[in-house]
Chains A and B, each alone.
Chain A
Amino acid sequence: MSGRCCARASAIFVPADKAPPMLQLEGIVKRYGSYTALNGITMQVPPGQVFGLLGPNGAGKTTLIRIITRITGPDQGRVMLNGKEMGPDDVARMGYLPEERGLYKKMKVGEQALYLAQLKGMSKADATARLKAWFERWEIGGWWNKKVEELSKGMAQKVQFIITVLHEPQLLILDEPFSGFDPINAELIRAEILRLRDAGVTVMLSTHSMASVEELCDNIGLIDKAELMLHGNVKEIRRRYATNTFRVDYTGSKVALANSLSFIGELKDAHELDGHGTALITLSKGSTPNDLLRQLLPAVSITGLHEEIPSMHDIFIRVVSEKAPDHVTPGMTE
């Protein structure tokens, strides 16, 4: 994996999918005076997928997004788009929805959308045609001549989403796209993101909603305190964070179950209801689910056995709350 030298050796890197990356960041460093906002970020965003950019508040996500969108420049490192170093003209191929939404309050919706589309390099005629199509599809044609200040917050956000995607960018960067939307509109946005992805657009999504990450993202990068802590395919990351813990549904005696484990595993949690029990068992190193079954079968009758895979939520908290990166991955480096 290229560029690993710049990140802390102990962070985990699960290789992203092998397709050539749409966006490649190589050793991005950004400092503001003595403060380091990004310290050697190297990561890839595969094309035609949804990529989740995660991290706690103040981790450096917004700075990284601003470097990608060329709002600010890195002190070190480079940004590659489609394998080529990014230039000023590439901003037209990107769409950016900032976390803090904002439009000119006194300007009319249609006029404003056309202005911003033209700044992205579209012709007025093209922009008008596409904008009309969007307004028809979302059935908001009546908003065209309204001033932004006359719209509700949710309505203004919908307009801003359209403005973000109007010029049909190849790379769409959405910072907290669901915030401020009611569930119906959040669903609308979710569907749009997937539709755009299916149409070949690469989406970079920054969000604190780990449920949306599991649902939408193929790959993620997790940044904390200016460092990339986790990077790769969501399913693989979750699998790698699995602690060899299994959930056993059984009928029979909890005591018998506990006793039968002997040395192959540790009972983490167990509860019973009407004779039906559920137990969480973490296997000791080298033990397999088959070993577990062999031990348990004589003691209780088993109705189900599932591996417990941690949610992105759990992984996020675990990675971010553990101060020293050395403890992030005991025995799990590649």
Chain B
Amino acid sequence: MNKIKLIIWREFITRVRKPSFLIMTLLAPVLVAAGITVVVYLSLQDNNDQRVLVVDQARLLQGKLKDGEKLTYYVDNATWTDSAFKASPYTVMVEVNADILNTNTVLFFYKELPSLGIQRTISNELEKNLELAKLQGEGIDEEAYRRVRKPLVMKLFDIDKVGEESYEQERAGIGFFFGYFMFIFIFMYGVQVMRGVMEEKQNRVVEVLISSVKPFQLMMGKIIGIAMVGFVQFVLWIAITSTLASVGSAILLKDKLDPKAIATSQLPADAQAELEASGAMAMADKDDVKLLAALGKINLPLTLAMFLFYFIGGYLLYSSLLAAIGSAVDSEADTQQFMFPVTLPMILAIIVAQTAVYNPNAPMVLWCSLIPFTSPIVMMVRVAMGNAPVWQMLLSMALLVGTFIATTWLAGKIYRTGILMYGKKISWKEMGKWLFYKG
């Protein structure tokens, strides 16, 4: 099998040496990091000082609203006309009508739409104060109300593992992440396999090659070589992105990206005090904690092993089909009609995997985690959640192995005829015929 090694090496090294590989590998994380940084930075940064005119017809808010950073409240009881507001130096006018305690609706007029963050801050501030007014109106003690209003926490337990919280949702989320990663990889590099096959066919170099090696060796060499390019690229991406992210957040967003700072700034002052008092400050980044706990709950060795298995199986299955398509057509434009049926199950898989996160026991999820064309992505969610019985995992794996052996075999047959077929309009029927040609 020295020849297939040579093919793998050529596929790998010619791609890795391309300037575009280097650029993509370096640039993509920089762009992603820059993109995230810019978005986060901009969302935290509010361009202008906001001068908020609160037209308080209910006469509840005078002197109660607390100014924020770049945010000043002016409370007025008089009625303001639109034109008066337009002519005024205020940037926002909030109309609190006299019957606010029943309608629970305020009207927000703006000259330039402030960011969602500002809108939320204003809304929270108003709500908090109106709530107090309501409490007083109803004669309810504020302390008592706070005690009553504590949100309900529902902890999930698997009856077979009593004593530990299951964190199913979070685990499913992690599984979905693995599945999504697979989807991206299979798609990106599967298409590269298809392009590579088409390039060899268009160059006509393929005839020289297959007078030296078997078409199947050539196809598998390409599939494996490109997978190696993908692995290298992903490893580099992860390394570069995480380096950039840590460096970037350290320098650029020193205190702004501190989750505690963000969380506390949005909490009402008294709630903050309450939190600090109860020593539950950590609750502020509750989601992070949950995610970590979920990670701890996942059977990590099993999940990673299954990930590797489904990843390789799914890639082999789809890239061999894409290689067959590449061999059958003469130009990129002709690939469309064949690409659609191949990409459809992948997209379906992503949709079902999303469903699985919230409804892991739906029959659709079960079936799609067994059917080989969708199982790599969907089963990942179930594996991470730990709700797939062993027999289902084994069945799903066996089906995947059987199917990728079948598809690579079929693809090999189509490939071997297709790469030498020029100037013919290819249909599904025609490809079907090729399966029966003798090598």
List B contacts of A101 (CB < 8 A): 204
Q: Does A71 contact B (CB under 8 A)?
A: yes
B residues 410-439 near A (Cβ < 8 Å) are: 416, 420, 433, 437-439
Report yes or no: A71 in contact with B14, Cβ–Cβ below 8 A: no
Report yes or no: B205 in contact with A103, Cβ–Cβ below 8 A: yes
Task: Contacts A91-B212, A98-B208 given; indicate if A32 touches B203 (C-beta within 8 A).
Answer: no
List B contacts of A116 (CB < 8 A): 208-209, 212
Chain A interfacial positions (CB closer than 8 Å to B)? 32-33, 66, 69-75, 88, 91-92, 94, 96, 98, 100-107, 115-116, 118-120, 160, 163
Sample of 10 A–B contacts (CB below 8 Å) = A33-B433, A33-B437, A71-B210, A72-B439, A74-B438, A100-B204, A102-B206, A116-B208, A119-B209, A160-B208
Complex alpha-carbon distance, A292 and B432, angstroms: 66
Q: Is the interface of B mostly helix, strand, loop or mixed?
A: helix
Tell which of A33, A100, A119 has the most Cβ of chain B within 10 Å: A119
Chain B interfacial positions (CB closer than 8 Å to A)? 3, 6-7, 10, 14, 18, 200, 203-214, 416, 420, 433, 437-439
List A contacts of B416 (CB < 8 A): 72
Q: Whose C-beta in chain B lies nearest to the C-beta of A115?
A: B10
Task: Contacts A33-B433, A115-B6, A118-B6 given; indicate if A96 touches B439 (C-beta within 8 A).
Answer: no
List B contacts of A33 (CB < 8 A): 433, 437
Report yes or no: B3 in contact with A119, Cβ–Cβ below 8 A: yes
Closest Cβ of chain B to A118, distance in Å, is 6
Report yes or no: B420 in contact with A66, Cβ–Cβ below 8 A: yes
List B contacts of A92 (CB < 8 A): 212
List B contacts of A100 (CB < 8 A): 204, 207
Q: Whose C-beta in chain A lies nearest to the C-beta of B439?
A: A73
Complex alpha-carbon distance, A92 and B211, angstroms: 9
Report yes or no: A94 in contact with B211, Cβ–Cβ below 8 A: yes
Closest Cβ of chain A to B5, distance in Å, is 10
Q: Which of B7, B14, B420 contacts A107 (CB 8 A)?
A: B14
Complex alpha-carbon distance, A92 and B212, angstroms: 7
Q: How many residue-residue contacts, CB under 8 A, span A and B?
A: 64
Tell which of A66, A75, A94, A100 has the most Cβ of chain B within 10 Å: A100
Closest Cβ of chain A to B269, distance in Å, is 65
Report yes or no: A71 in contact with B203, Cβ–Cβ below 8 A: no
Q: Whose C-beta in chain A lies nearest to the C-beta of B210?
A: A71
Complex alpha-carbon distance, A137 and B205, angstroms: 25
Q: Whose C-beta in chain B lies nearest to the C-beta of A70?
A: B211
Complex alpha-carbon distance, A178 and B197, angstroms: 28
Complex alpha-carbon distance, A89 and B291, angstroms: 57
Complex alpha-carbon distance, A100 and B422, angstroms: 11
Complex alpha-carbon distance, A91 and B212, angstroms: 6
Report yes or no: A71 in contact with B204, Cβ–Cβ below 8 A: no
Task: Contacts A91-B212, A116-B212 given; indicate if A105 touches B420 (C-beta within 8 A).
Answer: no
Complex alpha-carbon distance, A187 and B200, angstroms: 30
Complex alpha-carbon distance, A199 and B124, angstroms: 94
Report yes or no: A103 in contact with B420, Cβ–Cβ below 8 A: no
- Please list the 7 inter-chain residue pairs (A to B) with the smallest Cβ-Cβ separation, ordered nearest first: A102-B204, A119-B212, A98-B207, A102-B205, A96-B211, A100-B204, A69-B211
Report yes or no: B438 in contact with A75, Cβ–Cβ below 8 A: yes
Q: Whose C-beta in chain B lies nearest to the C-beta of A119?
A: B212
Report yes or no: B3 in contact with A103, Cβ–Cβ below 8 A: no
Q: Which of B7, B203, B213, B214 contacts A104 (CB 8 A)?
A: B203
Report yes or no: A119 in contact with B207, Cβ–Cβ below 8 A: no
Report yes or no: A119 in contact with B420, Cβ–Cβ below 8 A: no
Report yes or no: A120 in contact with B212, Cβ–Cβ below 8 A: yes
Complex alpha-carbon distance, A48 and B200, angstroms: 33
List A contacts of B420 (CB < 8 A): 66, 71-72
